[in-house]
Structure 1
Amino acid sequence: MSWGAPEYLYLVLVLNQVALPEEALFILRYQKFYSLTRPGGAYKQLLSPEDSSMIPLLSAFQRLAVYRRVKLPPQALRGQALYDYYDALVAKYIGRERLYW
């Protein structure tokens, strides 16, 4: 495993004490670490019990995060409504304070 953008984002969020749950932080940190979720993975013996309990969640996220183009349904948020939706999520979980990078 290398130190890359997901680890950097994880550290920024943790050091800024954002309100994301531990499961979300775990997924952000290990989202690209595909070897961790492969059957018979070589890293299983290095996991804590808490980490092991999150592997199914990480695996499900990795399957969903695969890029694919889909046609949006007519009721999908667009434009300002989409911006407002995500702006509210950022305010709730990350806050409006300046993040320290």
Structure 2
Amino acid sequence: MSSLADEQVPGDMVVFGEIGLGGEVRPVSQRDARLREAAKLGFRSALVPKGRAGSGPAPRAPEGIAIDEIEHLSDLVARFQPADRPLKRGRRREEQD
């Protein structure tokens, strides 16, 4: 993301999830354990898939970490794309030659 939007991802942010072929961000197992470990390691914010794998009660954020849920890759891109700067697009291989 940082190279696409030319914006650095904050060093205290953790992002996890499974990205589907359609761009959907799917829940992964052990969400609560991942968040607890991230908080222990000093991460202060987390972008995670909306919902959770399996069933059970809604997760609570560990103390010291803010959780923001995303549903689609476009949600992730929107977090890092400055409104006044369009995303960079790669050049096609034939254009590079």
**What is the TM-score normalised by the length of structure 2?**
0.28
Q: Which has the higher contact order (CA 8 A, sep 6+)?
A: 1
**What is the TM-score normalised by the length of structure 1?**
0.27
